[in-house]
Amino acid sequence: MKQNLNNKVVWITGASSGIGEAIAIEMAKEGAKLVLTARSEAKLQALKAQCDEYTKGAMVLPMDLYKIETFSGAAKQVVDKFGRIDMLINNAGISQRALTREADLDIDRKVMELNFFSPVALTKAVLPYMIKQKSGHIAITSSIVGKFGFPLRSAYSSSKHAVIGFFDSLRAEEDDLDVTIIIPGRVQSNISVNAIGKDGKADGNMDPGQANGMPADVCAKTVVKALKNKRKEILVGNKELLMVHIRRFLPRLYYKMAKTVAAR
């Protein structure tokens, strides 16, 4: 069943950059009332100005998504302004570039906290409103490495597997909710630059795979179409998506490929 996004209140996390920023622009073109969240207020204000060209009145709601204790207050702020929350797109995330044996447990926790516990907590802050409304749509950005493991990404891959389990379960529990799991392959963004290295600091490098990935605006168009169509799961990317099918149907080939891939 297709939905019209015009005037829908759509809250996007990770809106200051990459995939989230591009989704916000596509959503503004659809006439959605946007709530834009990330840490960088300046980038969100610049994005709001861009979105205003299509639909005016986006709310800039800067948040550090590690601060879970602020989430119920933030959800109330959105409802106080717009009266409801129709869609939450849990998109903010952080990647990793570190071997398991070199990465301190703190790195695993840092990645899990932002990529798993944070969207879980924000979803729990928003759920009471959606349950009261008897409608709502929650999306989560996982990754192709949420479908298979990949070198230098053990924590990241775990977090992206974990959200698939959580949000599949939520969908099965709630008849009035729609849940969409977004599974991107390689998309042009700052994800590799911001990825946590073995020293716990940002890696700082743009991966060639990332630089040559699908442009974020192309990804966002596909994502927004999937959300309009209330798709339960969507793969978006280029030929790297093949690996998902290889892992599922030809596991022995996947085991070999995962060992020999020139990961960075």
How many CB atoms within 10 Å of residue 248? 11
Considering only 37-45, 52-60, 165-173, 247-255, which stretch makes contact with ligand NAP by CB under 6 A? Answer: 37-45
Question: Which residue from 181, 186, 244, 254 is in contact with ligand NAP, where contact means CB under 6 A?
Answer: 186
Answer whether 5's CB lies under 8 Å from 24's CB. no
Q: What is the DSSP letter of 107?
A: H
- Cα–Cα distances (Å) from 139 to 49, 114, 200, in that order, read 24, 15, 28
Instruction: Locate 264 and state its tokens.
Output: 């960075």
Q: How far is the CB of 142 from ligand NAP (least distance, A)?
A: 7
Which residue in 38, 151, 166, 165 sits closest to 94, CA to CA? 38
Closer to ligand NAP by CB, 95 or 222: give it. Answer: 95
Alpha carbon distance 60, 49 (integer Å)? 11
* Angle ∠(83,87,90) on CA atoms, nearest 5: 125
The residues in 17-36 that bind ligand NAP, with binding defined as CB under 6 A, are 17-20
Alpha carbon distance 44, 160 (integer Å)? 25
Q: Does residue 64 bind ligand NAP (CB under 6 A)?
A: yes
Instruction: Locate 197 and state its tokens.
Output: 């290295």
The alpha carbon torsion through 12, 16, 20, 24 (nearest 10 deg) reads: 70
Q: How do beta strands 87-90 and 136-141 pair?
A: parallel
Q: Does residue 91 bind ligand NAP (CB under 6 A)?
A: yes
Closer to ligand NAP by CB, 1 or 262: give it. Answer: 262
Considering only 45-53, 69-77, 78-86, 93-101, which stretch makes contact with ligand NAP by CB under 6 A? Answer: 93-101
Question: Which residue from 3, 194, 206, 217 is in contact with ligand NAP, where contact means CB under 6 A?
Answer: 194
Which residue in 116, 83, 89 sits closest to 30, CA to CA? 89
Closer to ligand NAP by CB, 133 or 240: give it. Answer: 240
- Between the two ends of the chain, the Cα-to-Cα distance in Å is 41
Q: Does residue 114 bind ligand NAP (CB under 6 A)?
A: yes
Closer to ligand NAP by CB, 136 or 213: give it. Answer: 213
Which of 66, 156, 254, 255 is an active site residue?
Answer: 156
Considering only 53-61, 88-96, 171-179, 250-258, which stretch makes contact with ligand NAP by CB under 6 A? Answer: 88-96
**Active-site residue flag, 156:** yes
Total residues interacting with ligand NAP, rule: CB under 6 A = 32
Q: Does residue 10 bind ligand NAP (CB under 6 A)?
A: no
> Which residues are catalytically annotated?
156
| Residues making contact with ligand NAP (CB under 6 A) | 14-20, 38-40, 43, 63-66, 91-95, 114, 141, 143, 184, 186-187, 189-191, 194, 210, 213
